[in-house]
Amino acid sequence: MAETQTLTLHVWRQKNANDAGRFETYKAEANEHMSFLELLDTVNAKLIEEGKPAIAFDHDCREGICGMCSLVINGYAHGPRERTTACQLHLREIFKLGWKEIWVEPWRANALPMVRDLVVDRSALDRIVQAGGYISIRTGSAPEANQMPVPKDVADRAMDAATCIGCGACVAACPNASASLFTAAKIAHLGLLPQGQAERMTRVRKMVAQMDAEGFGGCTNHGECEKACPKGISIDFIARMNRDFLKAMAAARDDVKTP
């Protein structure tokens, strides 16, 4: 028999950005095999039966790879389990901790404005990528694979950065609501590879300028983002972004405009 428990959920409810927002309390029957999102589903099923508006929360793949879920669970972005998205957080983990009462909040950052309840608008992150997180190349047929050798350790590091799913947990966990880890990961996964070299020094300046223009805070090297990241992306990439940025500002012959 699967273990079940009755949990008390305090869920952030907010109609829209102009509403003040408040916690509302729900009782939910929790099964150890459920994911945290499934627990919210059961609450929503009941709310819909009662003719009340369901709790809005972002979700898509529920496999931990799409980056849509975005819940701060009892003070932890994506919940208390390391390297796990909220959708992959099973309630047995919550039972282990003995939590009976759980507070569920959205990502909180000015740059990620409120949409409704637990849903925030993360297009600021998309705009950072649009500013330079791409490679301008002719997209014809695939080139011969061995034409451009990439050492294994470099490819691995690029992949470590590329595991970023853009969920924004780094912003949510950061005491300054900084998007440094996100931006650094996006800069690094291109900047490490040969195809990304041509635009490397322009990319870092444009993306950092966009990151600042969106109103994210700065990095104070606390390391919260690294711990909250469901993919465990290292803050070493932030140091790499800083180095690339300072180098680009000092050495580049062209100027970059502020957004």
Partner 1 sequence: MQKTLTLYDTTIGKKAAMAASGVILLGFTIGHLSGNLKVFSGPEAYNEYARWLRTVPALLWGARLALLFAFLVHISSAFQLWKRNAEARKTRYTKKVDIATDYAAKTMYWTGPILLFYLLFHLAHLTFGGQLFGDAAIFGIEGYTWEPSNPYNNLVRGFQHWPIVVPYVLGVLALGTHLFHGIYSMFQTLGVNHPKYNHLRRDLAIALAALLTLGNLSFPIAVLAGYIEPTALRFNFPELL
- Binding residues for partner 1, per CB under 8 A? 21, 23, 72, 74-76, 103, 105, 108-111, 114, 173, 175-178, 205, 208-209, 211-212, 215-224, 226-228, 235-236, 238-246, 249, 255-259
Q: To the nearest whole angstrom, how small is the minimum distance from the Cβ of residue 213 to partner 1?
A: 9
Q: Roughly what angle, to the nearest 10 degrees, separates helices 180-191 and 123-132?
A: 30
CB of 80 to partner 1, least distance (A): 8
- Cα–Cα distance, 56 to 37 (Å, whole number): 11
Min dist. Cβ of residue 200 to partner 1 (A):
14
Comparing CB distances to partner 1, the nearer of 12 and 59 is: 12
137/159 with CB nearer partner 1: 159
| Least distance between partner 1 and beta carbon 253 (Å) | 13
* Strand arrangement of the beta sheet that strand 101-105 belongs to: 22-31, 4-13, 101-105, 72-73, 76-77
CA 141, distance to chain mean position in Å, is 33
Q: Which is nearer to partner 1, 33 or 100 (CB)?
A: 100
- Specify the residue, 21 or 166, whose C-beta has the smaller distance to partner 1: 21
Nearer to partner 1, 33 or 243 (CB): 243
Give the shortest CB-36-to-partner 1 separation in angstroms.
15
Backbone angles phi, psi at 105, to 5 degrees: -125, 160
Buried b (16+ CB within 10 A) or exposed e, 57-82: bbbeebebebbbbbbbbbebbbbebe
Asked if 190 and 133 count as a contact pair (C-beta separation under 8 A), the reply is: yes
Instruction: Give me the helices (H) in 78-179, please.
Output: 91-97, 123-132, 152-162, 169-173
Closest approach, Cβ 26 to partner 1, in A, equals: 16
Q: What is the CA radius of gyration of the chain?
A: 20
> Which CB sits closer to partner 1, 95 or 103?
103
Find out whether 23 and 129 touch, Cβ atoms under 8 Å. no
